[in-house]
């Protein structure tokens, strides 16, 4: 438990410094180099895809047995590409997951 407390605390300090970085350093007209800017725009898709793959396709380091998780996630991805909307994706994914669980999938 104390480990968790310290992890959140250290992550909080580091995250705050990241939030402050540009505001503090770039205030007087200086700009980010295009290379750094591009790398930073790739953080979100890379990090989120890594978390999705780890949470969806693996379970405690082993392959997750095929089932409701995969099917509902596929529905969510399909709706996300079709509607380009976070809200619809959540509704469709959670709805599909609930139906699959009720069907005993």
Partner 1 sequence: MPGSVVFGLAFGALVVEAGLPAWLAPYASSTVTAGASQIAIVEALRQNAPMLIAVATALVINARLALYSASLAPVFAAFPRRWKLILAYLMTDQSAAVSVLEAPRWPDPVRRRWFILGVSGPFVAVWIAGTAAGAALGPVIPEEWQIGFIVPLMFIAVMVPALRDWPAIAAAGIATAVVLLLKDLPFGLNVLCGALLGIAIAAFVPERKGTSAADIDPDTSPEVPS
Q: 22 to 61, contacts with partner 1 by CB under 8 A?
A: 22-29, 31-32, 35, 37-58, 60-61
Does residue 66 belong to the site contacting partner 1 (CB under 8 A)?
no
Task: Please enumerate in sequence order all residues whose Cβ is within 8 A of that of 32, keeping only pairs 6 or more positions apart, or say none.
Answer: 22, 26, 40
CB 104, min distance to partner 1, A? 11
Does residue 103 belong to the site contacting partner 1 (CB under 8 A)?
no
Q: Where are the alpha helices (DSSP H) in 1-105?
A: 2-25, 34-41, 43-56, 68-83, 86-102
List beta partners, residue 58: 63
CB 103, min distance to partner 1, A? 13
CB 66, min distance to partner 1, A? 14
């Amino acid at each position: 438990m104390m480990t968790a407390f310290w992890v959140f605390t250290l992550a909080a300090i580091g995250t705050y410094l990241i939030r402050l970085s540009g505001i503090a350093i770039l205030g007087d007209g200086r700009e980010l180099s295009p290379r750094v800017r591009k790398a930073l725009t790739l953080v979100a898709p890379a990090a989120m895809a890594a978390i999705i793959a780890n949470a969806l396709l693996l379970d405690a380091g082993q392959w997750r047995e095929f089932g409701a998780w995969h099917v509902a996630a596929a529905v969510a991805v399909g709706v996300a590409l079709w509607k380009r909307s976070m809200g619809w994706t959540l509704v469709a994914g959670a709805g599909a997951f609930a139906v699959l669980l009720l069907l005993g999938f």
